[in-house]
Structure 1
């Protein structure tokens, strides 16, 4: 695990489009009205459509792949995600998913990252920890 140092970080930013929400819905089957039905979404506390929470986790997984690529053969894999959703992501929001290496569990060959997803206003929309298992 010498290829990782506490403080290492990476991030990925993307503007969430309608295509992202519908494509993700098609892949995972999450067609809940608050995601795909504008009229239904107007009746919710969000007042308009929001992206699936798991889509934000997917952006964190993109960053995890960047971190996993630093491992020597045979590599590393995502091991665990402990994420809490704290604010909605609306279609048109630009989100930044970021991982910061907070700790290393050497006996278990595991890197523990602080995970955050923020929108263009700096509002944290998801946060928690992710775990990378170095093989």
Structure 2
């Protein structure tokens, strides 16, 4: 009866403490340009190498929310996956992400309230094993049961 759930979806009934999922993505100049276009955040620290060289970053960096978006991708596509509703997210940016960096985004289940379908996820992104972003997400997970 429930075999038609979207691939990658883990329903609340099947989520377990400690469960993790992740993705990796290389951040490209095109990613940064597209994010600037979509978000309308055209801060030159992201787009202008000459400008960015004279900042504390000493070069261009990706938008922090572009990096955070990779966490959203893991949550929306893998854990819990399709049908998940974001309820909240905390973020702390620890280091910049630069064009060409390969970002590893990972979420881990740290709390489950099956009755309310709520899941708390520890989230982080890292580059070369160094954490660049940490946070926590609270989501409403899909269920096989109908309300």
Q: Do both proteins adopt the same fold according to a TM-score greater than 0.5, normalized to the shorter chain?
A: yes
**Can you list the C-alpha shifts for 1:38-94, whole angstroms capped at 9, x where unaligned?**
111011011100000000111000000111337xxxx42122111110100011100
CA RMSD of aligned residues (A): 1.3
Shift of 1:7: 1.1
Query: Structure 1 regions of 5+ residues with no counterpart?
Result: none
Query: Structure 2 regions of 5+ residues with no counterpart?
Result: 1-11, 143-147
What does residue 95 of structure 1 align with? Answer: 103
Contact 1:35 1:52 in 2 (8 A): yes
What does residue 119 of structure 2 align with? Answer: 111
**TM superposition score normalised by structure 2:** 0.83
| Structure 1 residue runs of 4 or more that deviate by more than 3 Å after TM superposition | none
Q: Which has the larger radius of gyration?
A: 2
**TM superposition score normalised by structure 1:** 0.91
What does residue 43 of structure 1 align with? Answer: 54
- Structure 2 Cα separation of the partners of residues 80 and 106 of structure 1: 18
- Give the count of matched residue pairs: 130
Contact 2:75 2:84 in 1 (8 A): no
- Structure 1 Cα separation of the partners of residues 97 and 134 of structure 2: 13
